[in-house]
Structure 1
Amino acid sequence: METSDELEKIKELENRLDGWETEEDDAGFKSQQTYRRYLEARDWNVEAAEKILKATIDWRRETKPQHVVCTYCHAKPGYHAMRHVGFDRHDRPVLYSNFAQCHTQHNVVEDAIQHMIYLTENATRAMPAHVYQFVWVMDFTGMKVTSCNPRLARAVEQITSNHYPERLGACVCVNHGPLFHAFWKAVKHFIPPTTVRKVHMERHHEKIEVLFSELFPDELKHWLYEEIRLNKLHPLPKQQKEFWTTTHTGHDTRGCKSYVEKYLNNLQLDEHKSKCNTYLPHPNILDDIIEMKKQ
């Protein structure tokens, strides 16, 4: 709940943005929630928030992120494994990523940013009205030296900090080892302190259990435990490699049951073709659903 001072600053920022128009199909971007996020990201400094928000509006007009698709995933299924899998106890979308499931760890700046924009835009579409953040569970099983690219990390951080401030609610890191710790030490200095404080790095099962129980409802918590367990197997099972498919039985690698039922089984393909504000899942999950409906 905003204080009277915060409400005044939100109104002042709104007035300062008068005349800075968005694209017609991006009109919902200028909202009270957006103003609040940008003010939070700049410690409620109206001038600083105005500067980066105007830059974001220009960026959105030029980049049109509401239309961005991950061409890399469409061209090579499994190029990126990061995907939306459910919601936490506060109704925030939960994204899960695992290095072992990625079909490449030689990412470049362009493909990483493209996939991150696609996921963030679609996670936003799945957020209830009172929610403006998502949670990211990073599973470092399978991480290789080629994944440690400071230039890539810097570029992604710049996009998220400048154009998606305060979207990240929490980042939970599991199965991390010395390779990641060395990488984290190298990149931590250019990540905003507010973001660093949202990163939870747990190694012991008991602490992970406490954190997962605090954040996630039982259904999603158990899904994450099973997904993490299966992604540690050697060799990696086919169903884990092809996490986007609907052909397997038992554990559904696409996400927890409630997410699959609401967002995948009921996906309206006609709307996805005609409306840019329709929620879409991971590109390969989308492709698989489209192929299934053709049969």
Structure 2
Amino acid sequence: MERGSDQVQRLEKELASLLDQTVGSDHVEITRDPTSLYRYLRARDWDVKAALDMIQDSILWRQRERPDQWTCKWCREKTGYHAMRQVGHDALGRAVFYSSFIQMTLTASSACAEDSVAHVVYLLEQAIRSMATIPNGSDSCVWVMDCTGMFLAACSPRVAYRVNQILSHHYPERLARILCVNSGYMMRGAFAAIKHFLAPRTAAKMRFMPVPITRESLLDEHMGDEMTEWLMEEIRLNAQRTIGDSQLRFWERPAATESVHDPRGSDGYVKQFIATYRGSLKGGDPKGVHHPHPNIIEAVTACK
């Protein structure tokens, strides 16, 4: 069913009425937000009672866990532990995440489900904030997964299962697409194993992009010109036989003599959310400020 249709609006109104009776004025970011009502209804195949139960579970989880206050302690303890980060927004206003196995300092021996869940939740909470501040912002995200340098422990079905549980239960329909770049037999094999516990709608969000990646294929996924150009260059640089320091230290602003490409994100994202980050925190940590990758924050706030 299409968002905004008479039938959907009727179901949203019915769900909102039930929430007023059971939840009241708590957690208005879910209970009074039509886009949230739509996402929960869609995730439960338009069953109002099931969507109500799901929202109530999410509210209890948010009260208990306070995910809006999470950070990634693993990245803070070991710089670059996770390379997955928000790098901008696409032509539809969706937040774009990029991850690289080459850039992360996570190793086979240190990989676990707990760190992955914490990092993804942090990124989602911050992406929601960023989308609320841009013109025509969306309510969903796209993950560009660069599989260059992939190793077995990093594509564990157990980790994928835990992350999927959190996303499907508490962030339904937030992840619009996963674009898998430079995928080989390892990633395709891992997806074949993971696919068995994914809902068909979730599994259908995976896209295996052409190898090598093309500009046209990214534009077809609504990346837009700026995001496409950034992704093409980032993917190219991370596929080199010798990776430059500015790429490996993706959380730092590259020196002018090294590169004109900024691995922290697209030009628009850097200007709006990274270059202005210190100023946005004056007077404390205002509610609603978008926080970039934890190590980007450390690098920016350490600058004189």
What is the TM-score normalised by the length of structure 2? Answer: 0.90
Query: 1:250-286: CA deviations, max 9, x gaps?
Result: 1101011111111111123425943342111011111
Give the secondary structure class of the aligned counterpart of 1:244: coil
Structure ranking higher on relative contact order (CA contacts 8 Å, 6+ apart): 1
Give the match for residue 223 of structure 1. 230
Runs of 4+ in 1 over 6 A off after TM superposition: none
Query: Larger deviation: 36-45 or 247-256?
Result: 247-256
Give the match for residue 4 of structure 2. 2
Query: 1:99-119: CA deviations, max 9, x gaps?
Result: 111101332111101100000
1:130 Cα shift?
A: 5.2
1:209 Cα shift?
A: 3.0
Letter matched to residue 78 of structure 2: K
CA distance in 1, matches of 2:138, 2:283: 23
CA distance in 2, matches of 1:213, 1:272: 40
On the 8 A contact 2:68/2:125 being kept in 1, the answer is: yes
Does 1:209 find its partner at 2:212?
no
Give the match for residue 35 of structure 2. 33
Does 1:112 find its partner at 2:116?
yes
Query: 1:151-187: CA deviations, max 9, x gaps?
Result: 1110000000000000011111111101111111111
1:202 Cα shift?
A: 1.9
Query: 1:39-76: CA deviations, max 9, x gaps?
Result: 01111111111111111110000010110011111111
1:144 Cα shift?
A: 0.5
Question: Identity over the aligned pairs, expressed in percent?
Answer: 36
Structure 1 residue ranges without an equivalent (≥5): none
Q: 2:161 aligns with which of 133, 154, 163?
A: 154
Letter matched to residue 92 of structure 1: R
Q: 1:122 aligns with which of 109, 120, 126?
A: 126
CA distance in 2, matches of 1:115, 1:11: 34
Query: Larger deviation: 125-134 or 234-243?
Result: 125-134
Give the match for residue 284 of structure 1. 295
Give the match for residue 263 of structure 2. 253
1:203 Cα shift?
A: 2.7
1:238 Cα shift?
A: 1.1
- The aligned length equals 290
1:77 Cα shift?
A: 0.8
Give the secondary structure class of the aligned counterpart of 1:94: strand
On the 8 A contact 2:94/2:137 being kept in 1, the answer is: no
On the 8 A contact 2:181/2:211 being kept in 1, the answer is: no
Q: 1:11 aligns with which of 7, 10, 13?
A: 13
On the 8 A contact 1:269/1:290 being kept in 2, the answer is: no
CA distance in 2, matches of 1:275, 1:76: 27
CA distance in 2, matches of 1:124, 1:271: 21
Root-mean-square deviation (Å): 1.8
Give the match for residue 99 of structure 2. 97
Specify whether residues 21 and 73 from structure 1 end up closer, same or farther in structure 2 by C-alpha distance, changes over 3 A only: farther
Where does 1:48-67 land on structure 2 (aligned, <5 Å)? 48-67=50-69
Q: 2:90 aligns with which of 88, 91, 105?
A: 88
Letter matched to residue 302 of structure 2: E
On the 8 A contact 1:66/1:277 being kept in 2, the answer is: no
Give the secondary structure class of the aligned counterpart of 2:138: coil
Q: 1:275 aligns with which of 281, 286, 293?
A: 286
